[in-house]
Structures are given as structure tokens and as C-alpha cells.
Amino acid sequence: MEILEAIKNRRSVKSYQSRPVEREKIEQVIEAGLWAPSGQNQQPCRFVVITDSSLLGEIERELYRVCSMVKKLRPLIALFRPELRGEKGKRALRSIRERAFHGAPVLIIVGAMRDSSSTYHKDTAMATQNMMLAAHALGLGSCCMGWIGALNSSRRARKLLNLPKGFEITNAIVLGYPERVPKAPPRKTLDETTTWF
Amino acid sequence: MEILEAIKNRRSVKSYQSRPVEREKIEQVIEAGLWAPSGQNQQPCRFVVITDSSLLGEIERELYRVCSMVKKLRPLIALFRPELRGEKGKRALRSIRERAFHGAPVLIIVGAMRDSSSTYHKDTAMATQNMMLAAHALGLGSCCMGWIGALNSSRRARKLLNLPKGFEITNAIVLGYPERVPKAPPRKTLDETTTWF
């Protein structure tokens, strides 16, 4: 698949078949993440793949529990988490869903050790984008899990996933064969977004 | 160009021809950024393109000035910027170069309004990755500018670029026809980076 075409045709898929994803394809998706650039070539990205449906369910329930708590305590938490302040914070919290994983058979958590690099937030986001493009090229759908970082403060999730101390979950995608592929939302234009000098 | 191939063959190019880049190609690169996913489809990404060589030089000098100051004051600044702490902070600061833009004829700054979205850091990083892949597909080289965020605190840079209050520079790439394309640094393996459940 052509790259510019893949970039435009990739959608955030929110409805999946229960059909499992071949291990080889999951590996190709992660490999695409490993080939993303990283600050000073530190390659900080680490991946946790969950295909076990019972664990997947437990993580999804725990995510909902933690996110619901964040929603309730937003004014307090926003004191030290600027991204939860104001209208944008309220809007983000409205997007919390009980079935956050959309029935997908695979979750790939992306993260890094906090002392690994000064740019791991960017590096892991770039790796995640590579992974979503690779998934699309392999006939898979994916969707980025905006709220996954809430699990960093969950002892239960950290224990279930055996995350080492100092490990930060930064992103995650669900992965699977799409049941429905949504239409592309219209994009902002160059004129609306770009200044030239 | 095939997407998986593009992901693996893209390099961080650090040496450029002076040959200008066609406006149409720059637009295609930005368009690739606009097609990245964003939290709650808020599309927060904004772009500042600089091809004016005198302005490019001024920005490069200002970046070096600010970064050199950060280097000098690291222990103090690290108190409120965790990414500058410890070994990773020192390592990151060692990467500061006077010719940060590697002689490239184009700089594209990527950023967002701080109140636009709760996920603009991730969204802009994902857009930047799309842009580097698109550049590669168009025969261009690119390199991500890890230190560009230092310009957020420079009044001079903000004035030169006419950045509105509340606008945060999150990423930038330089862009141009490559003079030399470096070899790929070896990548960490799946075994080293991935846990399966």
C-alpha cells in the first residue's frame, strides 16, 4: 500500500470482528513501532501485547474504574494535570466509555522507563503512529486509546501486567479485523492551519 | 512507496542540499500531518513553515542561544522539567548543536494552542511522524528537532514567528533533498522490547 494513501485511508476503527489476529501480523505492527525515530537514538519504546481475552476484559474494566474516578475528581486532579483543565478537560472526559476497547481482540500498550530518555513521550507517540499505519497496511483496524495513561496509577493494572517500577504507559492501540470502517471526518485545511514565512 | 518499506527506510537525515523544496511537496507533507488521528477528533495541529533563509538562520541562532542557557541552568530548570533530570537530561543536552538545522532549506514547526485539546502533545507527535514518512515517500529527507520546544520561552522567537499567546511549539522537522543518507542504526529486537499476555 502506498504510504500517502495509507496515511489518508487509515481510520480509527471502533468496531471489530472477534477473529483473532495472527501473531506474525502483531509482530509486524510492533516492528513498525521499533523503526520510528527516537531522541538520540535511545529507542525507549516498550510494548505489552494482550490477546488473552480474560486479561483484556480485566484491563478494560480497570481502565473504566480509574477513568470514572478521574472524572469524579477532575477539579482536584486538574490542579496538577493541566490537560484536564477547562473545556478541553471536560470534553476529553466525556469520551470515556465502558467498552473502551471496542471489542477488539488485541491491545498493545506502548510505554517506556521514565529514566530511559528525555523524549520518550514523543518517541512513543511516533512509534504508535507507525504501528497504526502498519496495521492498516496489513488489513487490520486500530484505534488509539487516549485514556490508557490512567492505568499508570492503578496498582491492580500494574500488577496484572507485571509492569516494573518506573515504567510509564504512554499510549496504546487496540487491533483487529474491522467489522465496520467509519467514514473519514473532514480535515482542517492547509489555509486554516498553516503559516508561511 | 510501500508503507512498511517507507517506515523502515526513512532515516533521520543530517546533511542537505541547498536546493529548495517545491511548495507543492511541502504542502503534501503538511497534509500528511493533517490526516493523523487526534483525540476526540479535535485536530489541534498547527504548522509554521519557514523557507526564508534569513529567518531560518535567526531562528537557528536563537535556538542555540536558548538551548545553551538551558544547558548552563540545567540543575535549576530540572526542578520543574523532569525530562532534564539525571543521566538522560545530561545526554539530551549533549546533543545540542550550533547548526541544529543541518543546512536544510525548510523548517516546519508543529504545535497547538494549549487550550485546544487534552491530547495535543501526542496528536502533534503522531502528525510529525506522518510528515516524516510523507517526506521520505516524496524523495525528501527530514529530521525531527528534539530541542525545538526550548523556543516556547523565547520572546524573540515568538515575535519573529508571530506566535499567538497560548501557542505551544511541540515538534519540528527540517526538510530538504538529502546530501547524504545515513545508514540505519540497528534496532532493538521484539524479544528485547515486548511482553506477551
Beta-carbon count within 10 A of B180 CB: 11
A58 and A159 Cβ atoms separated by less than 8 Å: no
The H or E element spanning position A112 is strand A106-113
| Edge-to-edge strands, sheet with A194-196 | A194-196, B46-50, B106-113, B167-176, B141-144
What pTM does this model have? 0.95
Q: Which chain A residues are within 8 Å of B4, Cβ to Cβ?
A: 28, 32, 134, 137
Judged by CB atoms closer than 8 Å, whether chains meet at A3 and B8 is answered as no
Q: Write phi, then psi, for B175 (nearest 5 degrees).
A: -145, 140
Lowest mean pLDDT among A4-18, A72-86, A139-153: A72-86
Closest among A193, A120, A137, A144 to B8, alpha carbons compared? A137
Q: Is B128 on the interface with A (CB under 8 A)?
A: yes
DSSP A99: T
Q: Which of A106-120, B17-31, B43-57, B87-101 has the lowest mean pLDDT?
A: B87-101
> Does residue B79 register a pLDDT over 80?
yes
Smallest Cβ distance to B4: which of A8, A134, A171?
A: A134
The answer to whether B91 faces chain A, any CB pair under 8 Å, is yes
**How far apart are the CA of B165 and the nearest CA of chain A, in angstroms?**
15
CB A148 within 8 A of CB A169: yes
| Per-residue confidence (pLDDT) for residue A164, from 0 to 100 | 97
For residues A45-71, average pLDDT? 96
State the cell numbers at B42.
Answer: 479535535
User: How far is the C-alpha of B133 from the C-alpha of B142, rounded, in Å?
Assistant: 9
The predicted complex's ipTM stands at 0.95
**d(Cα B15, Cα B182) in Å, to the nearest integer?**
9
Closest CA relative to residue A118, chosen from A16, A57, A44, A50: A44
Q: Identify the residue with better confidence: B88 or B177.
A: B177
Looking at residue B83, its pLDDT comes to 87
Question: Which of the residues B88, B90, B145 would you substitute to probe the A interface, choosing the one with the greatest number of A C-beta atoms within 10 Å?
Answer: B88
User: How far, in Å, are A122, A137, A160, B68, B167 from residue B81 at the CA level?
Assistant: 15, 38, 30, 16, 19
Q: Which domains does chain B have, with CATH numbers?
A: 10-52+100-179 (3.40.109.10)
Determine the pLDDT at residue A1. Answer: 77
With a CB cutoff of 8 Å and minimum separation 6, the contacts of A162 are B195
Inter-helix orientation angle B120-137/B23-34, to 10°: 140
Report yes or no: A37 and A123 within 8 Å, Cβ to Cβ: yes
Task: Write out the three cell numbers for A51.
Answer: 490477546
Q: A2 versus B127: which is more confidently predicted?
A: B127
Q: Does B69 touch chain A (CB under 8 A)?
A: no
Q: Which of A15, A11, A1 is nearest to A138 (CA)?
A: A1
Average pLDDT over residues B94-99: 88
Sign of the CA dihedral running B16, B19, B25, B27: positive
Q: Where are the beta strands (DSSP E) in chain B?
A: 46-50, 106-113, 141-144, 167-176, 194-196
Mean pLDDT computed over A11-28: 97
Contact B118 A92 (CB under 8 A): yes
Buried b (16+ CB within 10 A) or exposed e, A100-122: bbbebbbbbbbbbebebbbbbbb
